[in-house]
Amino acid sequence: MSEIIKNGQIHADEWTVLRLAEGDDAATVALPAGRVIVPLAVWLARRETLAAHADAGVLGVWLAGSDDPASIESDLSRLQLIAVDFPKFADGRGYSIAALLRSRYGYGGELRAIGDVLRDQFFYLTRCGFDSLQPAAGKYTTAQLEAALASLRTFSEPYQGAVDRPEPLFRRQPRPAAQKAQA
Amino acid sequence: MYQYDEYDQRIVDERVAQYADQTARYLAGELSEDEFRPLRLQNGLYIQRHAPMLRIAVPYGNLRAEQLRMFAHIARKYDRGYGHFTTRQNLQFNWPKLEHVPEILGLLASVQMHAIQTSGNCIRNVTSDPFAGVAADEYIDPRPWCEIVRQWSTFHPEFAYLPRKFKIAVNGATDDRAAIQIHDIGLELKRDAAGNIGFRVLVGGGLGRTPILGEEVASFVPWQQILNYCEAVLRVYNLHGRRDNAYKARIKILVKALGVEEFARQVEAEFVHLKDGPSTLTQAEIDRVASRFDDPVLAPLAADEGYRARLADDKAFANWAKRNVRPHKLSGYASVVLSLKTAGIAPGDITADQFDAVADLSERYAQGEVRVLHEQNLAFASVREADLFELWQQLRDVGLATPNIGLLTDIISCPGGDFCSLANAKSIPIALAIQDRFDDLDYLHDIGELELNISGCMNACGHHHVGHIGVLGVDKNGEEWYQVTIGGAQGNGASLGKVIGPSFAAAEMPDVVESLIRSFVDNRKEDESFIDTVRRIGIEPFKTRVYAERDARKQERSPAHV
């Protein structure tokens, strides 16, 4: 069982992320017991049989950076957990995927960052709509993860709007004009 | 220039705290090299050949006196007494220690400065016309728009880990002094038939390994929508730009691969969802940002007779005024360019004492304001004509009055192999050798307008592709060689130079430039400029002359010559 950050707090996590190994067939690969997050390919291949698991809240779907979130648009209301994979933390496609899921497609369930998820990206990830952050197993000790919670509040009033605060600073706060200096 | 409010200040203060913590964790071994690299790069810190290099943002090239004094202090305390202005209007220090950087960033924050996003695969410092607000040919002041783009792009959470770096430039004058055609996004301010302000949007320009001029994706985006439109461009790029090969990761490659029509269609498909959203700009916000530019209120003055008399009887002063003084939108004022291209000094370098001197002079003659040109010079935006002679004398005393702006010795150069770990070859010694060869001022003025750009590698920080003469350092079997292009140009009629032939050894470069100049002088019509001659007659006559004279030199030196 690993620890994740969810809604700004540390939680023990029960979900297993299924990753296809070379030669695995999305249509037939065995699913681990318990709560499982399956790759998009598995969901698309077995939607009919997996729908009940999703409805029961024990099956989620993860997207890779190359996946189009539009491909699960019609499933969003039944999925209680969607994850986006970061194969490397510097691969930033997941930020746009999260922003699209939240703001374009109106996804309201748990949105989790998985893969190479590091504390120095927590602030940007939550701004783009991730409410749960799952660093790789063993990446951080509990104490390090507790220290990392501060990263969620690095900037108190960011300039631009994003998923967490859709309005930009100039709409959120009254900012003062200045008086002209005289020559 | 722009004055921070409490929110701007808080953001840079919070950045200093964040980076101090990251540096401490790196030094404690909690952050790996790979994890720390993008964090330090997004604070402008490179690990270079000799030491780290810290690049400080000078937003759209605007500085004021207290900031220059802080540069002087940092140069003395943390560096070796000098700094270097870059081709994107920024300032670099070459010798800071990694563990001192949080402290330096704290000092910068105390004078409303930072190093945010001056490197890394994110939206970089926005650049613009150094004469914004005072140029005679300006129709819309780009600075408030630059500041709005700066704020929007600062820590934009969705676009901090793009496939590659991303540069935006804004121009609002007839002459494009912001080089918008060689930026990832080039924004040209314009008015529609009804007089409404908007932007023509170019995308996909850039130099580097694959030089390409930007193409128009929108002919007019109303100002209210410009951030929404930029967001659409960035989102298409972030999702679809290549991430498998750093050399093919810039947006220009995506635009070329899709074709500009298809790229524009994808942007438009994204834009329809963002249009009129929360990032839509309001007149109140534009007015507020504009109000925070504390421009002095200047009254027009009568043309100064004393100035004109001095021009008539002091040739040295007249030479300087001809090259380094520019027209101002108000009568009785001028803009003055301070040359950082003095013989024997690396282009763009400036000492701590010179920082202090420029700060003092700016307060005395230019309302405490200083501009940075992407040609690696400085400028005072508004100087009274009546003060020009006195200012010139004082600039001469501190070595900043070389009368060579726009001439052959006003060389644009990257730091090259002396400092940069990416370079294939040195740039600075080539620049200095060429400056040394062309030390006759009358001859230089006779040659006229000529831009010579030097890059030490394909990354093209010296913008060699758009130099009238471009020099590119290349590595041939471990030796430093130089490839020469001619016919490049920046600005409105931007073009990419053509290679004249096989590359040259470093020692040959002054001779090569001399051959090019002799060929130009022999072929030019009346007072035609170098670039116009190249465009009229093509590169062949230049090429023939350069290699013929090279062969002759070799013959002369050959011991087999009997």
- Other beta carbons within 10 angstroms of residue B256's beta carbon come to 16
Chain B positions in Cβ-Cβ contact with residue A160 (cut-off 8 Å): 151-157, 227, 279
Greatest distance between any 2 Cα atoms in chain A: 77
Question: B557 pLDDT exceeds 90?
Answer: no
- To the nearest whole Å, the CA of B248 is away from the closest chain A CA by 15
B134-291 CATH: 3.30.413.10
The answer to whether B38 and B120 are in contact (CB under 8 A) is: yes
- Looking at domain B305-397, its CATH architecture is Alpha-Beta Complex (3.90)
What is the interface size between A and B, counted as CB pairs within 8 Å? 127
Q: Which residues contact B482 (CB under 8 A, 6 or more apart)?
A: B425, B430, B471, B472, B473, B474, B503, B504, B505, B506, B509
Query: What's residue B500's pLDDT?
Result: 97
pLDDT at A1: 64
What pLDDT shows up at residue B562? 52
State residue B341's pLDDT score.
96
- Structure tokens of B274? 């963002």
Q: Quick one: pLDDT at residue A181?
A: 46
User: Which of B37, B143, B161, B276 is best to mutate for the A interface (most A CBs within 10 A)?
Assistant: B161
Once rounded to an integer, what is the mean pLDDT over residues B136-162?
A: 97
The residues with which B485 forms a beta bridge, in sequence order, are B470, B499
Identify how many contiguous H helices and E strands chain A contains and give both numbers.
6, 8
CA angle, corner B532, sides to B526 and B535, nearest 5? 130
- Residue of chain B with shortest Cα separation from A116: B35
Residue of chain B with shortest Cα separation from A170: B285
CB contact (8 A) between residue B7 and residue A169: yes
Residues whose CB is less than 8 angstroms from the CB of residue B416 and which lie 6 or more positions away in sequence, other chains included: B423, B425, B426, B427, B428, B430, B454, B455, B456, B462, B473
pLDDT for the residue B369: 97
Q: Find the mean pLDDT for residues B483-506.
A: 95
The pLDDT value recorded for residue A183 is 39
The amino acid present at A72, given as its one-letter code, is I
Domains of chain B: which residue ranges?
6-109, 134-291, 305-397, 412-557
Give the one of A92, A157, A162 whose C-beta lies nearest to B238's C-beta: A92
Among A81-85, B45-49, B331-335, which is the least confidently predicted range? B45-49
Q: A170 to chain B: which residues are within 8 Å by CB? A: 282, 285, 288
**CB of B406 less than 8 A from some CB of A:** no
CA distances, B482 to each of B195, B468, B506, B510 (Å): 49, 16, 7, 12
- Give strand pairing partners of B499: B485
Confidence of residue B560 (pLDDT cuts 50, 70, 90): low
Average pLDDT score over residue span B425-443: 94
- Amino acid letter, residue A90: A
Give residue B561's pLDDT band: very low, low, confident or very high (50, 70, 90).
low
Q: Dihedrals φ, ψ of A6, to 5°?
A: -130, 125
User: Do residue B291 and residue A167 have CB atoms under 8 angstroms apart?
Assistant: no
pLDDT digits (tens, 9 = 90+) for B236-258: 999 999 999 999 999 999 999 99
The per-residue pLDDT for B421 is: 85
Domain boundary assignment for chain A: 2-172
For residue range A118-165, list pLDDT tens digits in order: 999 999 999 999 999 999 999 999 999 999 999 999 999 999 999 999
Give the DSSP letter of residue B116: T
* Interface membership of A105 toward B (CB under 8 Å): no
When pLDDT is cut at 50, 70 and 90, the band that residue A179 belongs to is low
The alpha carbon of residue B271 and the mean position of all alpha carbons in its chain are separated, in whole angstroms, by: 30
Tell the burial category of B245 from Cβ atoms under 10 Å away from its Cβ (0-12, 13-18, 19+).
exposed
Q: 45-84 in A: which are within 8 Å (CB) of B?
A: 65
Rounded to 5 degrees, what angle do the CA atoms B148, B88, B259 make?
75
Please judge whether B238 and A95 are an interchain contact, meaning their C-beta atoms are less than 8 angstroms apart.
Answer: yes
Structure confidence by residue, pLDDT tens digits, B445-476: 999 999 999 999 999 999 999 999 999 999 99
Q: Between the CA of residue B238 and those of B228, B252, B274, what are the distances in Å?
A: 15, 13, 16
Task: Check CB contact under 8 Å for A177 and B152.
Answer: no
Q: What is the pLDDT of residues B75-100, one digit of tens each?
A: 999 999 999 999 999 999 998 999 99
Instruction: Give residues 281 to 340 of B whose Cβ lies within 8 Å of A.
Output: 282, 285, 287-288, 291-292, 294-298
Q: Is A170 at the interface with chain B, CB within 8 A?
A: yes
Query: Could you check whether B6-109 and B412-557 share the same CATH topology?
Result: no
Residues B337-350 have pLDDT tens digits of: 999 999 899 999 99
* A154 to B18: CB separation less than 8 angstroms, yes or no: yes
Spell out the residues 6+ positions from residue B544 whose beta carbon is closer than 8 angstroms to its own: none
**Superfamily of chain region B412-557:** Sulfite Reductase Hemoprotein, domain 1 (3.30.413.10)
Question: Is any Cβ of chain B less than 8 angstroms from the Cβ of A173?
Answer: yes
In order of A123, B452, B519, the CA distances from B545 in angstroms are: 60, 19, 7
Architecture of domain A2-172: Alpha-Beta Barrel (3.20)
How near does any CA of chain B get to the CA of A134, in Å? 17
**Looking at CA atoms only, how far is residue A65 from chain B in angstroms?**
8
Token pair listed for B125: 């410092």
In this structure, the strands spanning A81-86 and A59-63 are parallel
Longest dimension (CA), chain B: 82
Please tell me whether residue A147 adopts helix, strand or coil conformation.
helix
Residue B47 has pLDDT above 90, yes or no: no
The answer to whether B249 and B243 are in contact (CB under 8 A) is yes
Judged against a pLDDT cut of 70, whether residue B387 lies above it is answered with yes
Gap between the Cα atoms of B484 and B255, Å rounded: 28
pLDDT(B528) > 80 = yes
6-45 of A, contacting B, C-beta below 8 A = none
Q: What is the arithmetic mean of pLDDT over B517-532?
A: 95
Q: Could you identify the residue written with the tokens 């929110």?
A: B7
Q: Give the torsion through C-alpha atoms of A116, A122, A110, A73, to 10 deg.
A: -70
Q: Does A181 contact B7 at a Cβ distance shorter than 8 Å?
A: no
Give the closest of B3, B15, B158 to A162, CB-based.
Answer: B158
Q: Check: CATH 3.40.47.10 for B6-109?
A: no
Q: What is the pLDDT of residues A40-93, one digit of tens each?
A: 999 999 999 999 999 999 999 999 999 999 999 999 999 999 999 999 999 999
Average pLDDT over residues A97-109: 97
Q: Give the model's confidence band at B395: pLDDT under 50 very low, under 70 low, under 90 confident, else very high.
A: very high
**Whether A177 and B291 lie within 8 Å, measured CB to CB:** yes
User: Which residue of chain A comes nearest to B382, CA vs CA?
Assistant: A183
ipTM, 2 decimals? Answer: 0.96
With 90 as the cut, is the pLDDT of residue A174 above it? no
pLDDT at B350: 98
pLDDT attached to residue B43? 96
A95 interaction partners in chain B (CB closer than 8 Å) = 157-161, 238
Cα gap B196→B192, rounded to integer Å: 5
pLDDT in tens, B201-247: 999 999 988 999 999 999 999 999 999 999 999 999 999 999 999 99
Q: Residues with Cβ < 8 Å from A143, sequence gap 6 or more? A: none
Q: Is B237 on the interface with A (CB under 8 A)?
A: no
Is B11 an 8 Å CB contact of chain A?
yes
CA dihedral B175, B176, B178, B179 (to 10 degrees): -140
B448 — alpha (psi -120 to 50), left (phi > 0) or beta? left
